[in-house]
Amino acid sequence: MATSNDIKNGSVLNLDGNLWSVIEFQHVKPGKGGAFVRTKLKNVLTGKVVDKTFNAGAKVEFETVDRRDMQYLYFDGTSYIFMDPSSFDQIPVSEAVMGDATDFLLENESAVIGSHNGNPIFLELPGSVVLEVTYTEPGLQGDRSSGGTKPATLETGREIQVPLFLEAGTKVKVNTSTGEYQSRVND
């Protein structure tokens, strides 16, 4: 069994029967007392994020998670179907595992699927994606330099805030972790 000294970003731990992914960790050696490991953990099933501290050398149980690049094919009404581009194997991913990823994923786009014992448990999107604005109100003349924003609907149905000068049909880069507009993309 491994110890808390082996914890790294991306490791998956089994704590009380739940799987937790390590988002960040820090080994701390205070002037007095024993060393410890401060971590920020994310529950791979629910997405809940918690802070947890382990004593240095404490026994922890690591889980093996298979991470593979997969291509999103389609939604069949109950599951999202992904394909492994190397073997052409198709796997269904439930809506619960997908979470907010459906707001940023288009057909034929790639994502990383993490599986444990053959079951998909989480999905990682790229840091940003390019999506088209399908609807937004026209910007007002003269408001181009004020730095204001307005709501815009993307081709996936997600609504985000964009600068006033953007119009429908414009492609924009969107941060997948925050859901915020990053920049306009020119074709």
Q: Summarize pLDDT for 14-66 with one digit per residue, the tens.
A: 998 888 888 889 999 988 888 999 999 988 777 788 999 999 889 999 988 88
Same-domain check for residues 53 and 78: no
**Cα(93)–Cα(114) distance, integer angstroms:** 11
Domain boundary among 60, 83, 100: 60
Residue 140's pLDDT is: 64
For 109-127, what is each residue's pLDDT tens digit?
999 998 888 888 888 888 8
Q: Do both 94 and 110 map to the same domain?
A: yes
Q: Are residues 105 and 151 in the same domain?
A: no
Cα–Cα distance, 153 to 173 (Å, whole number): 13
Q: Per the confidence metrics, is the pTM higher than 0.95?
A: no
Q: Is residue 167 over pLDDT 90?
A: no
- Asked whether residue 56 falls in the same domain as residue 80, the answer is no
Number of domains in the chain: 3
Residue 103 reports pLDDT greater than 60: yes
Q: Are residues 118 and 137 located together in one domain of the fold?
A: no
Domain CATH number, residue 150: 2.40.50.140
Evaluate whether 49 touches 33 at the Cβ level (below 8 Å): no
In angstroms, the CA 159 to CA 172 distance is 12
In the predicted model, what is the mean pLDDT of residues 135-143?
72
Banded model confidence at residue 141, pLDDT cuts 50, 70, 90: low
Assess whether 119 and 148 both reside in one domain.
no
Percent of the chain whose pLDDT exceeds 70:
94
| Torsional sign, CA 95, 99, 103, 106 | negative
Considering the domain architecture, whether residues 118 and 148 belong to the same structural domain is answered as: no
Last residue of a domain, one of 60, 77, 109: 60
What is the mean pLDDT of the segment spanning 79-94? Answer: 92
How far from each other are the two terminal CA atoms of the chain, in whole angstroms?
52
pLDDT band for 187, please (50, 70, 90 cuts): low
User: Can you tell me the distance from the alpha carbon of 100 to that of 181, in angstroms, rounded to the nearest whole number?
Assistant: 16
pLDDT, greater one: 82 or 118: 82
Residues 14 and 53 occupy one common structural domain: yes
- What's the whole-number average pLDDT of the chain? 87
Q: Which of 60, 88, 108 is the last residue of a domain?
A: 60
Which domain range does residue 113 map to? 66-124
